[in-house]
Amino acid sequence: MRAKAKPEAEAITTEMTGAEVLIHSLKKENVEVLFGYPGGAVLPIYDALYRSPIKHILSKHEQGSIHAAEGYARVSGKPGVVIATSGPGATNLVTGITDAMMDSLPLVIFTGQVASTVIGTDAFQEADIMGITAPITKHNYQVRDVQDLPRIIKEAFHIASTGRPGPVLVDIPKDVANKTISPDYDSTIHLPGYQPTFSPNILQIKKLADAVGQAKKPVILAGAGILHANAGKELLTFTEKNKIPVVNTLLGLGSYPGQHPLFLGMGGMHGTYTANMALYECDLLISIGARFDDRLTGNLAHFAKNAVVAHIDVDPAEIGKNVPTQIPIVSDAREALRKLVDVDSETPDTEEWRSQLTENSKNYPLWKKTNTDEFLPQQVVELVHEYTKGDAIITTDVGQHQMWAAQYYAFTDANRWVTSGGLGTMGFGFPAAVGAQLAFPDQTVVALTGDGGFQMTLQELSTLQELNLPVKVVIMNNHTLGMVRQWQEAFYEKRYSHSLLPVQPDFVKLGEAYGIKSYKVTTQEEARGVFEEAFSHRDPVLIDCRVSGKENVYPMIAPGKGLHQMIGVKP
């Protein structure tokens, strides 16, 4: 007990309910915005919120809340905070929680729960959210004693945002939220089982530096870990010093300048020929903050098979999980890169290797149809790039349009790229744009989405309308579940089972129903006119781009094939 409490501290030590403690703790964590949806079990929390200045964004479905929180977290680096009621509110979050877990996004999720006295009785709107979310959260808590609430919230934010970031769920029974206590905010975090490694082992760094010095064909695979660690500058320094080419993972895009001569593009299933051949042929592979997803590696038997593999990751469990690793380095990416640059070491002679790669890039660049009147989906991405000067925050849904966005937007800066990688969640892109826009109100935010995926979460148009958020919704409308159609064309003899969408809503009328300026464009010229207008003001816009429905994403590594077996490389 403090003898002479300041007025502010005084307020803290007075009696308050669990719900008020929660709101107060959120303030202490500098939470600016909550994404949520009310309901019976969280009524006490919403009542406390009613008297609080914290901004709350009412989505139209809890999935909208959580994807918005993910978008917010991805671009801001701060934890996205979500509130949902018990039972259906909580279960509606499950896809988003899994998505955040797969893509290492920091989220803190508060779910209401039925009163402690009836937990376990199949009470109204009771769901075992602790059990349901155990495998899809970094950690989860059920608050049994309201006195624990300040500590649990502190721990939740700490766990979500340190080490390898991830979602943490806090389940709060209604009676706990109602109970009045004198909270103790001084209670400290006590997590003896959680001490993420931050700094690398210096001997391992030296070992890697030696390997770099001896390499003839080194390549770096840079993943989202670079972005989480804010290590873009250090990566640039290290690669320029040693002249090592860089491949990005899908989620790592933006961690290296897209136009840099050392940049080879994205690797993996729809990566560039040059990037994949570099991963195939390299003699030293340095993976930083990437986890060797199967969509990146292709058939492991052919992946970097002549290379010494070094792997820098904050999560030791990722090292050696899929690819045998000779130089494991458990560390924050920025710390490791700093130490690597500091170590006195030889720089490799990579000139021959680089000219080989440049040759590849020249001969086998990304390509699309030419001499056609069709409005091509790739052109939409190029136009968006042009009219946003390559500087927008781009969110995508999942499918062909996602891959074209990844291939053609050429990100130059970090934290401008928001996509669902690990889980590949349709319905992610548009609400994620809402969250990203809330994190950066002055930035241009474009939701590049498919006609299929947009329809999974389009109810959030209502949120745009309500907040007049200037998100530009660009639907790459190919009248198909394009990626599914592509696989059916390639692997199922064109049996287009339930992948064609000839009947669609009128997206323009739909947008207008929500009071949003909406356009349909069918040619590149039309698109130019509309984009010019749409990107000149700060209002929400919806643009239904009627693109060719027959395009496929190339090049491609068919499932089961190796990185060197790309099909659809430029003829």
Is there binding between residue 295 and another protein (CB under 8 A)?
no
Residue whose entry in the numeric block shows the structure tokens 């062909």: 400
Token duo for residue 450: 């498919």
Say if CB 32 and CB 441 are below 8 A apart.
Answer: no
Cα 474-479-485 angle, rounded to 5 deg = 115
Closer residue to another protein in complex, CB, 198/364: 198
Among 196, 213, 320, 424, binds ligand TPP (CB under 6 A): 424
Residue 364 contact, options ligand TPP, Mg ion, another protein, none, Cβ 5-8 Å cut-off depending on partner type = none
- CA distances (Å), 466 to each of 75, 98, 213, 381, 515, in order? 22, 28, 57, 28, 9
Q: Which amino acid is at 402?
A: Q
Would you count residue 429 as binding ligand TPP (CB under 6 A)? no
Options 138, 311, 339, 546; binder of another protein; rule CB under 8 A: 138
Handedness of CA 240, 241, 243, 246 (dihedral sign): negative
Q: Is 426 in the site for ligand TPP (CB under 6 A)?
A: yes
> Minimum CB separation from another protein for residue 152, in Å?
11
- Shortest distance, CB of residue 498 to Mg ion, whole angstroms? 13
Give me the amino acid identity at 357. Answer: L
Binding range to ligand TPP, per CB under 6 A, among 233-241, 352-360, 386-394, 395-403: 395-403
Residue numbers 112-131 binding another protein by CB under 8 A? 130-131
351 catalytically annotated:
no
CA-based nearest residue to 553, from 540, 569, 536: 569
Is 483 considered catalytic here? yes
Phi, psi of 106 (to 5 degrees): -75, 115
Catalytic annotation on 62?
yes
Catalytic residue, candidates 483, 520, 535, 566: 483
Residue 428, C-beta contacts closer than 8 angstroms, at least 6 positions apart: 67, 70, 99, 395, 396, 397, 398, 419, 420, 453, 457
Q: How far apart are CA 202 and CA 1, in angstroms?
A: 45
Q: Judged by CB under 6 A, does residue 401 bind ligand TPP? A: yes
CB of 558 to ligand TPP, least distance (A): 16
Q: Which residue has the tokens 């010494």?
A: 308
Least distance (Å) from Mg ion to the CB of residue 45?
39
Residue 518 interacts with another protein (CB under 8 A): yes or no: no
Binding partner of residue 316 among ligand TPP, another protein, Mg ion, none, CB cut-off 5 to 8 Å per kind: another protein
Q: Would you call 179 a catalytic residue per the annotation?
A: no
Q: For residues 341 and 238, what is the distance between their CA atoms, to the nearest angstrom? A: 6
* Residue the block writes with tokens 């990005």: 248
User: Toward Mg ion, which CB reaches closer, 276 or 420?
Assistant: 420
Catalytic residue among 27, 55, 124, 512: 124
Catalytic residue among 174, 217, 339, 472: 174
- Report helix, strand or coil for 425: coil
Question: What's the distance, Cα to Cα, between the start and end of the chain in Å?
Answer: 76
State the nearest-atom distance from the C-beta of 315 to another protein, in Å.
7
| Residues in CB range of 541: below 8 A, 6 or more apart | 470, 472, 473, 516, 517, 518, 519, 534
Host H or E run for residue 547: none
Q: Does the annotation count 269 as an active-site position? A: no
Choose the catalytic residue: 20, 62, 126, 318.
Answer: 62
Binding to another protein (CB under 8 A) within 296-355 occurs at 315-317, 320-321, 324
Rg over alpha carbons for the chain, rounded to the nearest Å, is 25
Binding status of residue 398 toward ligand TPP by CB under 6 A: yes
32, 54, 194, 207: residue in contact with another protein (rule CB under 8 A): 194
Options 108-116, 146-154, 418-426, 489-497: segment touching ligand TPP (CB under 6 A): 418-426
Taking the C-alpha atoms of residue 286 and residue 55, their distance in angstroms, rounded to an integer, is 42
Q: For residues 141 and 110, give the distance between their C-alpha atoms in angstroms, rounded to a whole number.
A: 10
Instruction: Kindly indicate which of the ranges 112-120, 327-335, 348-356, 447-455 contains the residues binding ligand TPP, using the contact rule CB under 6 A.
Output: 447-455
**Pattern of binders to ligand TPP over 241-260, x per CB under 6 A?**
--------------------
Catalytic residue among 28, 32, 60, 125: 125
- What contacts 389, CB < 8 A, 6 or more positions away? none
How far from the centroid of its chain's Cα atoms is residue 170's Cα? 22
Q: What angle do CA 563, 313, 411 make, to 5 degrees?
A: 60
Work out the angle between the directed axes of helices 482-491 and 400-408 (0-180°, nearest 10). Answer: 100
The window from 132-140, 172-180, 444-452, 530-538 that contacts another protein (CB under 8 A) reads: 132-140
**Binding partner of 560, given ligand TPP, another protein, Mg ion, none, CB within 5-8 angstroms per partner class:** none
Closest separation between CB of residue 500 and ligand TPP, Å?
Answer: 10
Residue 412 burial class via C-beta count within 10 angstroms: exposed 0-12, middle 13-18, buried 19 and up: middle
Q: Shortest Cβ distance from residue 110 to another protein (Å)?
A: 17
397 binds Mg ion (CB under 5 A): no
Residues marked as catalytic: 62, 124-125, 174, 483
Residues lying near ligand TPP in the complex (CB under 6 A) are found at 397-401, 424-427, 450-453, 476, 478, 480-484
Where does this chain bind another protein (CB under 8 A)? 130-131, 134-135, 138-140, 142, 144, 159, 191-194, 315-317, 320-321, 324
